[in-house]
Chain A
Amino acid sequence: MKKALNLFRIEGIFLKYNLIAMLQYRLSYFLSVFYELFDALTMMAYFYIVFGSTSSIAGWAQSQIFTLVVVSYFINIVCVMLYIGMTSIPEYIHSGQLDLLLLKPVNKRFFLTFRSPNSVQILNFLVAAVGIGYCVAKSDAVAINIICFFIALLCSIILMYSVMCILISLSFWFIRIGNSWNIIELLNQMSAKPKNIFPMPIQLLLTLFIPALVIINNPAYILHFQYDIFLRQTLPITVIFYISSVIVFRLGLKKYSSAGG
């Protein structure tokens, strides 16, 4: 408990100093706030254009698919706000800058993945949170579905973090891994559609290997349809990916040999 509180304290420090740094660059500040918002608005526009010609897609009604879009937006914002900074790790490894970061008396995984949050996204986070609240209020879900929905949402955040962490940790071995994490964003966009429209092999791929459907689809499915998928899929897959990410990161750190001998 004490350790967890300390991590919250440190995350608060990261957010504070990141906000101070971001406020030095006014244009960048406004652009980063509005970029994600425009992205969400584009998705909304697309959503309403599609539903101008049909009332349901693969058995999902308009309000249910709206939840999918909002969940996708919410997860994306949390990722950008809290742990998108981990994409700098390959550069730190390549330049040897990681040396100095490893000497800070903070949990290494936490420090490296959360140290560069995007504090200004708090505004988008609030918009997304209101969207989530709206979806829940508009749904006919019973209490158990709503509870499982929020826990599934938390699992999605953890799962997204774990998948990114595994991909980024590969840079301990391969140093240059390109922008391989962008694949997650692509798959998340793809997964913001009812999973029934995908053929079974694709569903399996996007559930077990790159769990984009679990991240985006499952929370909405739990809210509007059946909550038992939470125990059958969301929870075990989250636990497996989280543990895997811890192991891969630890092995990566052990492998780290610094730059420049």
Chain B
Amino acid sequence: MRSIITQNLSRVYKSPVEKTGLARSAKGLFRKEFKYINAVTDMSFCAEHGDKIGILGLNGAGKSTLIKMLCGIIAPTSGSVVVGGYTPFQKKNDFLRLVSLVAGNKSQLNPDLSAWDNFRFLKSIYRVPERQFSETARKLTLLLECANLIDKQIRRLSFGERIKMEIVAALIHRPKFLFLDEPTIGLDVRSQESIRKILSDYCAEGDAVLFVTSHNLSDIVDLCNRILVIDGGTLRYDGGLAAFCAHYNTTSEINIEVENCTPRIREIVAGTGIVDCDFTGNMIRIQVEKTFITTVFRELIQKLSNDINKIQIIEPRTEDLLKELLIKGKVK
């Protein structure tokens, strides 16, 4: 069953043209100029229960705007979006009970209340049954190793501790659609790991749909089974993470350690149909097209068998591959 359907979704922001200097700013008091920014353009995709979708793109690509439209904070300028059978922007209470948003740079918790009082407040607002509330809060705080902090005022918690509480607060009413905007921003490695594990388990248990935007690509790799790559507000890729890597990862790396990097060795390496190579001391790094990797590897072994100390084929980490593709804008 398709739980999210977007069709030709677009969002245009009307933004005032910033004036610099006193004279221009003063002029702006009487005559305001506006520009139009296409934050999201003609985006169509579907999601099903259990999908864990990572939204990738550089700053200003339209990731947050897309999430805001999906959870109903802002309305699309054109096109349509249906989430769980509802039009998000209508903000029907039944719909809002199904969704939750965690934004790393924003807080839904009252800083003057303890975490526990905040959870109880949300329990009352969402009308969560007492038993379900106790079970969920206890389990999540234990898993996130923050059970000993729930009596502390939110404003007295460290940033990482507060984010953990935000995650608990977001899951108290057991939403079916979970939207995470930079959920692990500013967290240490251990906290990142535990948050990813919680979210992964939560989605697996409840068959929830998860959307994550993050510049921490480990979030995407660990959590998601599908990615949307956005560039300049346009959807460039929609599909599985593994398929994405297979499609865009066209080269592999061969690392060779030699006794001495002589001109003869350099000549042999250069003549093997490589994409790129780098000589550093006694290390040679060779980029080879995937289709030729076996041939090149065999040829190197044959010709340099007496010179090689160590040789290995390195596949790039998914995170590194994603980073490279995003930075170089190779996803078309």
Contact = CB atoms under 8 A, between A and B. Distances in A.
B58 to A, nearest CB: 13
Contacts of B99: 103
Most chain A Cβ neighbours within 10 Å, of B13, B93, B97, B125:
B125
A105 B125 contact: yes
A252 interface: no
B76 to A, nearest CB: 12
A24 B114 CA distance: 10
A106 B74 CA distance: 17
Nearest to A25: B112
Q: How large is the interface on B (under 10, 10 to 19, 20 to 34, 35 or more residues)?
A: 20 to 34
Interface string A233-261: 00000000000000000000010111011
Interface in B101-158: 101, 103, 106-108, 110, 112-113, 117, 121, 124-126, 153
B96 interface: yes
Nearest to A107: B93
B216 to A, nearest CB: 18
- B interface: dominant SS: mixed
A67 B99 CA distance: 50
A184 B113 CA distance: 31
B60 interface: yes
Contacts of A261: 13, 37, 39, 60, 62, 64-65
A94 interface: no
A142 interface: no
Give the 9 A-B CB pairs with smallest separation, nearest first. A21-B112, A105-B93, A105-B96, A100-B108, A13-B124, A99-B73, A17-B121, A105-B97, A21-B113
Interface of A: 10, 13, 17, 20-22, 24-25, 95-97, 99-106, 108, 254, 256-258, 260-261
Given A99-B68, A105-B93, 7 more contacts: A24-B153, A99-B103, A100-B101, A102-B91, A256-B73, A260-B64, A261-B65
